[in-house]
Copies of this chain bind each other. A is one copy, B any other.
Amino acid sequence: MAGRQQSVAPRKRPQQQRSRAMVERIVAAGREVLLRDGYDAFSTNRVADRAGISPGSLYQYFPNKAAIVAAVIDRYSDEVADRVAGALTDRLGEFGPAMIRDTADALVEALAANVDLLRVVMEDLPATSNRERRTALEQRVRELVMAYLAARPGTTRSTDHATTAWVLVMAIENLAVRYVLDEPAISRERFLDEVVALCAGYLAVA
């Protein structure tokens, strides 16, 4: 149908100190261009320019334009995941509404920390450049939710934890993203209350 895939694997590995610094500068410049000029203006020449290097140098480590975008998204994605994971490591044993609330809070916090980049990634980039990474992340989260459901004290509505987890993840993910991006007239506390109500209600229904 569309979108021929091209490899995104690095062309060669930086070996010396300066070349490692160069890769850093390229990714940083890529992020900067994405933020300041948008994806439409994201040309390899412009990225090289912003990084203060030559277009040729850029292609020493990145096989093509898509690879640079991917690298930028990778870093951002890791940032978000780390923030959420970090916020939850202390509370691993928790159960019930408090844990749901804390998780949602951490997610919103992580997304809000870089609204501008989130907006570009979600609304400017074609979702294709993002899809694999996103589904992989969803997959991981879904498994965590399933584990939670399996270990969950009290009755569960259904024994099909896979389906339940899928529904929860899809619903909450979108809610959090849209809450951060669209800034509806709902306070943070209120939003978290609603998320908790949604989850609790869904899990409790006969």
Q: Are A197 and B190 in contact (CB under 8 A)?
A: no
Bound complex: CA of A185 vs CA of B37, how far in Å? Answer: 40
| A167 neighbours in B (Cβ, 8 Å) | 175, 194, 198
Question: Taking A194-B163, A198-B198 as contacts, is the C-beta distance between A1 and B35 under 8 angstroms?
Answer: yes
Judge if A13 is at the interface, Cβ distance under 8 Å: no
Chain A 20-64 per-residue mask, 1 if CB under 8 angstroms from chain B, else 0: 000000000000000111111100000000000000000000000
Residues of B within 8 A of A35 (CB): 1
Partner-contacting stretch, out of A70-78, A79-87, A101-109, A115-123: A115-123
Q: Is A91's beta carbon under 8 Å from chain B?
A: no
Q: What is the oligomeric copy number?
A: 2
CA distance A178 to B178 in the complex (A): 15
* Bound Cα distance A170, B126 (Å): 20
Which residues of chain B are near A201, meaning CB under 8 Å?
Answer: 198, 200-205
Q: A203 vs B122: C-alpha distance in the bound complex, in angstroms?
A: 29
What are 29 A-to-B residue pairs whose CB atoms are below 8 Å? A1-B35, A1-B36, A2-B40, A2-B41, A2-B124, A3-B38, A4-B40, A39-B126, A123-B127, A124-B126, A124-B127, A135-B182, A157-B197, A160-B190, A166-B184, A167-B175, A167-B198, A170-B178, A171-B174, A171-B175, A173-B174, A197-B202, A198-B202, A200-B201, A200-B205, A201-B201, A201-B204, A201-B205, A204-B205
